[in-house]
């Protein structure tokens, strides 16, 4: 995938976990990046750490995905620093894990803004700057778009909306040569997994190692994924090798989701 070198992209929610891993893989491949996060100090440190792996330019910006003003300012930064983009990669923070009846109106409003609001605003703002043909839009979602889990009504419903939007965008943007895909990730070694393990441990009266083993036993490959593996999938989708893939929701979950389509 040598054709990534010299391309330009943006990755949101990249201060840690999946977003940071994706940024690291792309930067090491020579992609110039703008990375963002709601936490100014964390995204600054993330950019510094990523920069040690290569000499491609990397800049950072504070951007709260629930803030319209922060989202609008992203376009100004892209225009000033890059002029054009090749890749728009939208990653998200993690929504609350809670039973449906315990969620408040404020919870729904906050996370609708974080998922639906940020996605539509970013694409609308950045689409005029995206290369045509050859541009890529990638939404990073989760296996909750394919499987239903108790306590994940926010994640499942809102991420599924993002996947559907991605399919619609692929139909509308395909004629100008822009590929749009989404990724549904499974269990990966992130802070989100730690939160799930702690919740299950409390609920079941067990220890975290026991809960981790239970999850591994559900996964056909019998292991938890490494964040860099998502980075490599994103790199493939950004490359010319994937030029005929668009409108797809791609699972990367060790085989845990049973739904075949």
Per-position DSSP letters for 160-198, written without gaps between them: HHHHHHHHHHHHHHGGGT-EEEEEEE--BSSHHHHHHHH
Tell me the pTM.
0.94
Q: State mean pLDDT over 126-142.
A: 97
Cis peptide before 144 (omega within 30 of 0): no
Looking at residue 32, its pLDDT comes to: 97
pLDDT above 80 for 64:
yes
| CA–CA distance, 7 with 60 (Å, rounded to integer) | 17
The answer to whether residues 148 and 156 touch, using CB atoms and an 8 Å cutoff, is: yes
Looking at residue 1, its pLDDT comes to: 65
Q: Give CA torsion, residues 220, 20, 90, 142, to 10 deg.
A: 20
Residue 4: exposed, middle, or buried by beta-carbon count in 10 A (0-12, 13-18, 19+)? buried
CATH superfamily of 2-187+226-252: NAD(P)-binding Rossmann-like Domain (3.40.50.720)
Q: What is the pLDDT of residues 144-191, one digit of tens each?
A: 999 898 889 999 999 999 999 999 999 999 999 999 999 999 999 888
Q: What is the pLDDT of residues 232-249, one digit of tens each?
A: 999 999 999 999 999 999
Q: At what angle do helices 17-28 and 40-51 cross, to 10 degrees?
A: 30
Mean pLDDT of the chain: 94
Q: Where in the chain is the domain with CATH 3.40.50.720?
A: 2-187+226-252
Of the candidates 255, 178, 186, the residue with the CA atom closest to the CA atom of residue 225: 186
Looking at residue 223, its pLDDT comes to: 95
Phi, psi of 223 (to 5 degrees): -155, 165
> In the numeric block, which tokens belong to residue 122?
């970013």
Looking at residue 81, its pLDDT comes to: 95
Q: How confident is the model at residue 91 (pLDDT cuts 50, 70, 90)?
A: very high
């Amino acid at each position: 995938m040598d054709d990534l070198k010299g391309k330009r992209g943006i990755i949101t929610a990249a201060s840690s976990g999946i977003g940071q891993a994706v940024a690291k893989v792309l930067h090491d491949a020579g992609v110039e990046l703008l990375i963002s996060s709601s936490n100014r100090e964390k995204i600054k440190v993330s950019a510094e750490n990523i920069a040690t792996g290569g000499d491609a330019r990397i800049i950072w910006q504070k951007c709260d995905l629930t803030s319209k003003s922060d989202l609008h300012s992203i376009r100004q930064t892209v225009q000033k620093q890059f002029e054009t983009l090749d890749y728009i990669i939208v990653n998200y923070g993690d929504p609350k894990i809670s039973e449906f009846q315990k969620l408040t109106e404020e919870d729904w409003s906050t996370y609708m803004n974080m998922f639906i609001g940020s996605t539509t605003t970013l694409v609308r703002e950045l689409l005029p700057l995206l290369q045509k043909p050859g541009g890529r839009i990638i939404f990073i979602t989760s296996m909750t778009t394919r499987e239903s889990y108790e306590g994940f009504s926010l994640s499942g419903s809102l991420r599924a909306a993002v996947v559907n939007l991605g399919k619609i965008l692929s139909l509308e943007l395909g004629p100008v040569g822009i590929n749009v895909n989404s990724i549904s990730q499974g269990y990966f070694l992130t802070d989100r997994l730690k939160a799930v393990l702690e919740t299950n441990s409390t609920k079941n009266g067990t220890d975290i190692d026991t809960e981790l083993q239970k999850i591994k036993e559900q996964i056909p490959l019998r292991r938890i994924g490494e964040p860099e593996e998502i980075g490599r999938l994103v790199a493939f989708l950004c490359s010319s090798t994937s030029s005929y893939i668009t409108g797809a929701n791609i699972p990367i979950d060790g085989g845990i989701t049973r739904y075949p389509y």
